[in-house]
Chain A
Amino acid sequence: MSGEEQQLVDALRHRLPSGLESLMEKYGDVVYGLVRRVLAGAGRTEDVEECVSDVFLAAWKRINEYDMTKGTLRTWLLILAKYAALDTRRKLLRHQVMQSFDGHAAAGASVEEKVLTKEASAELLALVHALPEPDKSLFYRRYFSYESIEQISQGLNLTVKAVESRLYRLRKWFKAKLGERRAE
C-alpha cells in the first residue's frame, strides 16, 4: 500500500472528515464511473449520485473492515461500489419493467449460479483471478466493472475485434469450467 493510501486509511480510522474528503477526491471518478455503468438503464442521475454518496458513507463506516493484506484501498472501495450499485439496481428494478443493460443480465442469479456450490464458485473465481493478462483485466473490466467493448478496447489498447474475440474465448472457457464444477 502506498504511503498516500496509508495516510488515507489512518485519517478515516481516526474519523477525520478530511480523510473522507480526500478519499472522494482521489477515487470519486472511478467510483462514479463504475456506479453509473451498473445503473445504466435502471436509474437516473440522482440515483447514481445517491449511490456514489452511499459508497463513501459505507467506506467511512466500515473502514475498520478494510484489510490491506487482501488488496488496495482502491480495490476495496470498488468492491463496495459494486455491491452498492447492485443493491441500488435491484431496488430500482422493482419499480420498473426489467430492462436489460447492453445485453447484461438485469438481476437475479441464473440456474447455474443457484446450483453451483459456494466452494465451486470460489474455485472458479480463483481460476478467473489466475488468468494471464490481458485476459484477466479483460474479464474484470467486462464482468465486474461493466465496461463496454469499446471502453475495454480503448483501455487495453486492443482493437474492438480483438476484444470481441478474446471475450468469446473467455466465455467458452468459463462455460467449460462452470460445467466441470456443476458435474462435480
Chain B
Amino acid sequence: MTQKDEKEIFAWMDHQELDDVGEIELCQEEAADAAAWERIRKRTFSQLGMEIVGEKRLTEAKSRRNPGRRRWIAAVCAILILGTAFISLSPGALAEMQKVLQFIPGFGFVQPSEDSEHIAYVLPKPIDSIGEYGRITVEGVLIEPSVSQISLGGNHASATEVKNLVLMTEQGEYEFKRGSAAWGGNGPWQATYYYEGNIPDNGLGIVSIRFGNTLIGSIPLSKAATAEELEGFGSSDSKNGITVTGILTPLDGGTTKINLLTQLSGRQKVDSYGKSSIAEGLQLKLTDDQGRELELKEEKGFIKPGELLFDDSIGSKYYQVVIPAIRVIDPDAKPVKVTLPVPKEGKKEINVASQIMGFTIDFRSIERVDSESVRVEVDTHFDPEQPRTLQHYRLYGKRGQSAMSYSSELNEVTGAITEWLTVKPGQKEITFYIGEPQFVVKGSWVLSDMR
C-alpha cells in the first residue's frame, strides 16, 4: 500500500458531497489566540455590515463649551466605547447620546460649570461583581437629566441575553434598555444600557443594579467634576496637528489604567498607538519615575488600542508614555477607482499612479500568475520619517461599496505591498476601488508626569 493510495482517498473524499460525517470528535489542538479571534470576529461582522469600533469619539455638545477650557474639553470630551461592536442601537437614543454624553468609562464626566444646575452623577472607577453570569464589571455610570447610561462588561458572553437592567436608587427603580453590545469569541462582552427620562438626583450617592438575577449593590456615585476641577489633570502633547491625552486611573488590585484619547476629524479613528509595533521602531514605551520601562498587561478579550493596563509593584509617583507614532484609519475617505491593464501572460511594468487623501500610490507592475489571478506590486511610498505617510488601504469591488476577494501582503520593513487579485481568463483590464486609508502620523507624543 503506497502513499499514492492515500492520495487517492484524500482526493476522493475531498470531492464528496457530504451531508453527514458522523458525530466524530476531532482532535483538540491548540486553538487560535485571542488576537486571531478578534481579527476573525472583526472581519466576519464587518463583512455583514456590522461595524466594529476599536475606539470611537462622539461629538461633543458645542453649546456646553467654554473657550477658556477648550484645551481640557478637547482632551476629555471624548467618549470611549472600547472595543465595542455596535450591533444594535436605537438611532434616536444614539443621536441623543451623541449630543449629551461626554463619558469615559471608569473615569467620569466633565461637568461644565455653566450647567451646574443640572448635576450629573458618575461612577468614579469601575467596580467588579460576581453573579449569575460570572464576573461583571460596572465600567461606567452616567446619570443625567435627560438620558442616562450604564456600561457593563464581563467574561461570560451569555450575559448579553439580558436585554434590560434596573437601576435602584432611594427614589425608585428605573429600567434601562440595552443599546449596544459586543461579544468576544472566548467569552468577553461589553454592553451599554440607557434610560431616557429624568432620574431624580436625590439619593444617588449609593445605588444598586439588578442585572438578570444578579444584584450589584453598593455602587457609589459622585457628582461629576467640573472642567475647572480637572484643569491640569492628565497629560497632553500635540504633534503634527494631533493632540493625544493620557488619563490615568488607579483600578482595584494594584492595576493602573491609562486611557489614550485623541480628537480627530469625522469618523477617523486611531487604529494603533503602537502597543504593537506599527513599523520598525514605532512602538510606545511606558516608564516609571525612575525611568524603568513597565510592561503592559496582555490583553484578554477585546483589543483596546487606546487602553494601557499595567501593574507597578514598586508604586511609582508618576509615569511617562512616549508614543513615537499613531496609525489612523479614515473610513470617510472617498474610495478611488483604479483600473489596471491585465497582461495575457507574464509580468508587465505599468507604473499606474493613484491618489487617496493626497497620498500617492504607485502600482508598479502586474503579473498574470495563471488564467484566474494576477499579482500586483504596489508602492505606497511609506516613509515613517514623514509627518504623515500611507501604510495601507482597503480594496473594494464595484463603486467602492462591496467587499472584494483579494489577499494582500505588507512588507513591514520596506512598506511594499503585494496584492493577489482574481481575474477571468482573457480579461484585459481589472478595476477596483481603494478606500479606508491607514496612515501613520509621526510623533513623538510625550505624556509625562502622569499621576
A residues contacting B by CB (< 8 A) are 17-18, 20-22, 24-25, 28-30, 32-34, 45-47, 49-50, 52-53, 56-57, 60, 70-72, 74-75, 78-79, 82, 86, 91, 94-95, 103-105, 108-110, 112-113, 116, 121, 124-125, 129, 136-137, 140-141, 143-147, 151-152, 154-155, 168, 171-172, 174-175, 178
Contact = CB atoms under 8 A, between A and B. Distances in A.
A28 B185 contact: yes
Contacts of B45: 17, 20
A95 B422 CA distance: 11
Contacts of A175: 1, 5, 8
30 contacts: A21-B183, A21-B185, A25-B157, A25-B187, A28-B37, A30-B26, A32-B31, A32-B40, A34-B26, A47-B407, A49-B36, A56-B40, A57-B44, A71-B21, A71-B23, A75-B21, A94-B370, A94-B372, A104-B7, A105-B14, A112-B8, A121-B15, A137-B25, A143-B10, A144-B18, A144-B21, A147-B26, A151-B27, A155-B26, A174-B9
Interface of B: 1, 3, 5-16, 18-29, 31-32, 36-37, 39-41, 43-45, 47-48, 50, 85, 87-88, 157-158, 160-161, 181, 183-187, 369-370, 372-373, 375, 407, 420, 422
B43 A105 contact: no
Given A22-B157, A24-B44, A171-B1, A121 B22 contact: no
A144 B26 CA distance: 10
Contacts, number: 182
B18 A79 contact: yes
Contacts of B24: 136-137, 140-141, 145
A50 B407 contact: yes
Contacts of B50: 17
B167 to A, nearest CB: 23
B40 to A, nearest CB: 5
A24 B11 contact: no
Contacts of A46: 407
B21 A140 contact: yes
Contacts of A108: 11
B418 to A, nearest CB: 11
A17 to B, nearest CB: 5
Nearest to B44: A53
Interface of B is mostly: mixed
A20 B182 CA distance: 12
A32 B28 CA distance: 11
A28 B21 contact: no
A28 B369 contact: no
Nearest to A61: B48
Given A25-B185, A33-B31, 4 more contacts: A18-B160, A20-B44, A110-B7, A174-B9
Contacts of A95: 369-370, 373, 375, 420
Given A21-B183, A57-B48, A121-B12, A171 B6 contact: yes
B430 to A, nearest CB: 16
B166 to A, nearest CB: 21
Contacts of B44: 20, 24, 53, 56-57
Nearest to A154: B27
B13 A33 contact: no
A137 B31 CA distance: 21
Contacts of B13: 143-144
A79 B37 CA distance: 21
Contacts of A75: 20-23
